[in-house]
Amino acid sequence: MTHVKAQNITKRYETVAAVNRVNLEAEDGKFVTLLGPSGCGKSTTLKIIAGLIYPDEGEIYFGDRNVTELPPDKRNIGFVFQRIALFPHMNVEKNIAFGLKMRCRTKEEIARKIKEVLYVVHMEGFEKRMPSQLSGGQAQRIEIARVLATDPDILLFDEPLSNIDAKLRDELKYEIRRIQRETGKTMIYVTHDQAEAFAISDKIYVMNNGSVEQIGTPVELYVNPITPFVASFIGSNNFLKGRILTLDASTNVARVTSDDIEIVAPYTNGLHMNDQVLVCIRPEDISVIEEGEKSKYRNVIQGRIDDSVFAGLLTRLNVAVKGIVFKIDVHGSDRFSYLNVKGKEILLGFNKCSLIAGATEIPA
Amino acid sequence: MNRKTSMLVTTSACYLYLIVCCAILLLPFMVTLVRSVSVAQPGGSVVFSLSSYNEIVGSFWPKINLSLSISLLTVAIDTSIGIPAAYALVRHDFRGKKALFSFLNGVWYVPGVCYAMALVLAYYFVYKFFLGFWGYVAAYSCGFLFLMLLTCMVAFRHFDPRYEEAARCLGAGRLRSFIRVTLPLIGPGVTAGILLTFVLSFNEFITALLLAGPTRLMTAPLRVYSDIRMYGVRETVAAEATVLQLISLIVVVLYLKFVGTRYLRGVILI
């Protein structure tokens, strides 16, 4: 187990900074994920940690050891690639033995280790298969076994499931989590898939344009996004541009005006009167309510259903409120009541919403 | 005509076409082979005999030996220069990379005789000490380096660097990952370059013709040429030509059997 620390790492390609002053910390035995859209610099960050890319600035520490200048073969890492990187000219056994041979292990030790890691990834009996004879999921398991065999200090995953079909991806992500728990290794995982990141991570770094936007647990990121990008990238959100009207420090409640709509929202950060804010309301936090239920909600607004789309687990309503369209998700058996309701006037109620200070633009 | 008959006609036509193509390709070889074993008797009759092959053993074998030695050394030198150079050219970006690639491709559009003359000028008039056997090796290595370079570059372009990165992350140093992972995977591409360099340098005629004057060394193809000029198309000359063709044919057939045509496709010649 190793504590990984990246300090102020920067990598530029010509004039564009692919990674810009990124600080990252993965504690012993933790599962840390870099989440972001493609081209945000997450894979470059991971490759810098692995030593496959040399940073223009910044330093990498494994424990107390500064590894910035070390080549990848001297870092004792395991790297699982986005596209299967099993050596096509070696069978499964030889692929797994490769890293062990590089470490000058004895034949007996190599044979024992191969058995052990194949057991961990549930792939016993596949020793003699060539990589071309494996399915995508099997190959990815063998690749994980290959890196586990060398007993690396940290495991790095670069979107390992992005080329695998949805059902298997779902299965493998829990498998990776299980392996992490069983081996107790520090893992850094890169993905653009929010659901994947949420399912397996202890801590998530949300990246955009080469920088870290927010660090937190899945719940923290979902409930309290601190930048418009995080609010729009993680889950679905309704955005309203607004201005603080009043702040009640005793109850931590702010009154915000957004055009003709007034919203009461809880706040925790240092907001001031007349500050520009972005109000974020999750579609699932808004309920369609009856007249008599108004008192249960801090915010009640009236709107007209523009459209409804049935999506199996939920029905998504687009409701026009004073010229602004709100997305609302209706769950449970109620979702069947809103299938052909275009034009219907309804009351919306919500208590939860979050405020992002200083944001003046609604994210695309 | 029913469907079955029509299929039969089409298949026969395809086979006929293939046979004609093969015949056109093999005809010169077959004619030479037949000539080499057709020995004229004093009475005017022609009989089958391998005597011409017996006759050339003593005089032609040293030439074959010389040609083989030059070709193998050329292959060895070009491989050791070509692989690292191709790796550097494909993997690293630098100013003028595109221009260099165009220049490398452009080499094939220079007429052989002009290229050979340039080599002769360089190795004879400029480096007079580079005469004889090593003059051939130097001139051939230089002349065929582009071919080796291009085939290796094709091999490296098809090689995904992630395998090398994976090897590095598994603890292999630069050299070990190159030897254990990169080389086996680009191997077929490299052997394509080896094959072409060997066959073409073994049969190289124009450069040899121009170099033979100052060096007084005669390679096997040159010997066949001078024998034709001196004796005409006699059975011994035909036997020499047959041996020369057989060596190249065997090398090519062995390559195609073990590697196939995959790595020859990217080369401009094929």
State yes or no: pLDDT of B264 exceeds 60.
Answer: no
* Count of domains observed in chain A: 2
Is the residue at A362 inside a domain?
no
CB contact under 8 A, B170 and A146: yes
Pairing of strands A31-35, A203-208: parallel
* Residue A78 to chain B, least CA–CA distance (Å): 6
Using a CB-CB distance cutoff of 8 angstroms, which residues of chain B are in contact with residue A81? 162, 165-166
Using a CB-CB cut-off of 8 Å, the residues of chain B touching A87 are: 163, 166-167, 181, 185
Least reliable range by pLDDT among A41-50, A199-208, A323-332, B185-194: B185-194
Helix locations, chain A, DSSP H: 42-50, 92-102, 107-120, 136-149, 166-183, 194-200, 218-223, 228-233
B214: pLDDT strictly greater than 70:
no
Which residues of A fall within a CB distance of 8 Å from B171? 73, 76, 99, 102-103, 150
Specify whether A89 is located in the same domain as A127.
Answer: yes
Note whether A24 and A143 are same-domain residues: yes
A233 in the same domain as A220: no
Distance from CA of B167 to the nearest CA of A (A): 8
pLDDT over 90, % of chain B: 23
**Identity of the residue in B167, B169, B185 whose CB atom sits nearest the CB atom of A88:** B185
The last residue of a domain, from among A200, A228, A256: A228
Determine, for residues A50 and B181 on separate chains, whether the beta-carbon distance falls below 8 Å. no
Which amino acid, residue A27? Answer: E
Given the DSSP bridges, would you call strands A315-321 and A299-310 parallel, antiparallel or unpaired?
antiparallel
With an 8 Å Cβ cutoff, are B163 and A50 in contact?
no
Q: Which residues pair with A276 in a beta bridge?
A: A243
Neighbours of B244 (CB within 10 A): 21
Least confident among A99-108, A144-153, A243-252, A344-353: A243-252
Whether A364 is covered by a domain: the verdict is no
Give mean pLDDT, residues A134-151. Answer: 90
pLDDT confidence of residue A320:
92
CB spacing of A52 vs B172 below 8 angstroms = no
Give per-residue pLDDT as tens, A210-240.
999 999 999 999 988 889 999 999 988 899 8
Which pLDDT band holds residue B269 (cuts at 50, 70, 90)?
A: very low
* Residue A95 covered by a domain: yes
Interchain CB distance below 8 Å, B170 and A99: yes
Q: Which residue has the higher pLDDT, B41 or A223?
A: A223
Residues A93 and A217 in one domain: yes
Residue of B93, B160, B170 to mutate, interface with A, max A Cβ within 10 Å: B170
CATH of the domain at A56: 3.40.50.300
CATH architecture type of domain B51-264:
Orthogonal Bundle (1.10)
Q: Does the pLDDT of residue B125 top 70, yes or no?
A: no
Q: Is residue A117 part of a domain?
A: yes
pLDDT at position A14 over 70: yes
ipTM exceeds 0.85: no
Considering the domain architecture, whether residues A49 and A183 belong to the same structural domain is answered as yes
Within-domain flag for A23: yes
The reported pLDDT for the residue numbered A269 is: 66
pLDDT of residue B263: 55
**C-alpha span between A87 and B167 (Å, rounded):** 9
What per-residue confidence (pLDDT) applies to B21?
85
Let me know whether A149 and A267 are in one domain.
no
* Pair (A163, A253) in one structural domain: no
Q: How confident is the model over B122-140, as a mean pLDDT?
A: 74
- The whole-number pLDDT of residue B254 equals 84
Rounded to 5 degrees, what are φ and ψ at A242? -150, 180
pLDDT digits (tens, 9 = 90+) for A70-123: 999 999 999 999 888 999 989 999 999 999 999 999 999 999 999 999 988 888
Q: Is 70 exceeded by the pLDDT of residue B266? A: no
Q: Which of A160-174, A241-255, B59-73 has the highest mean pLDDT?
A: B59-73
Confidence of residue A357 (pLDDT cuts 50, 70, 90): confident
Domain boundary among A228, A247, A264: A228
pLDDT above 50 for B268: no
Say whether both A43 and A74 belong to one domain. yes
What does the mean pLDDT of chain A come to?
89
Cβ neighbours around A272 below 10 Å, total: 8
Average confidence (pLDDT) over A329-354 = 87
Chain B: residue nearest A103 by CA? B171
Residue A343 binned pLDDT confidence (cut-offs 50, 70, 90): confident
A100 with A173, same domain: the answer is yes
Q: What is the pTM of this model?
A: 0.78
Q: What mean pLDDT, rounded, does chain B reach?
A: 84
**Set of chain B residues whose Cβ sits within 8 Å of the Cβ of A88:** 163, 185
Q: Which of A228, A263, A278 is the last residue of a domain?
A: A228
Assess whether pLDDT exceeds 60 at residue B49: yes
A146 contact B CB<8A:
yes
A17 and A124 share one domain: yes
CB nearest A87 (choices: B163, B169, B173) = B163
What's residue B157's pLDDT? 87
Q: What is the domain range of residue A305?
A: 229-357
Write the CB contacts of A219 (distance below 8 Å, at least 6 apart in sequence).
none
Lowest-pLDDT range of A261-265, A338-342, B5-9, B65-69: A338-342
Q: Does the pLDDT value for residue A8 go beyond 60? A: yes
The pLDDT of residue B22: 82
Whether residue A348 contacts residue A303, with contact meaning beta carbons closer than 8 Å, is answered with yes
Share of chain A above pLDDT 90, in %: 52
Residue A328: give its domain's CATH number: 2.40.50.100
Pairing of strands A31-35, A154-158: unpaired
Task: Give CA–CA dist A100/A74, Å, rounded.
Answer: 14
Q: Which of A81, A88, A102 sits opposite B171 (nearest CB)?
A: A102
With an 8 Å Cβ cutoff, is A54 touching chain B? no
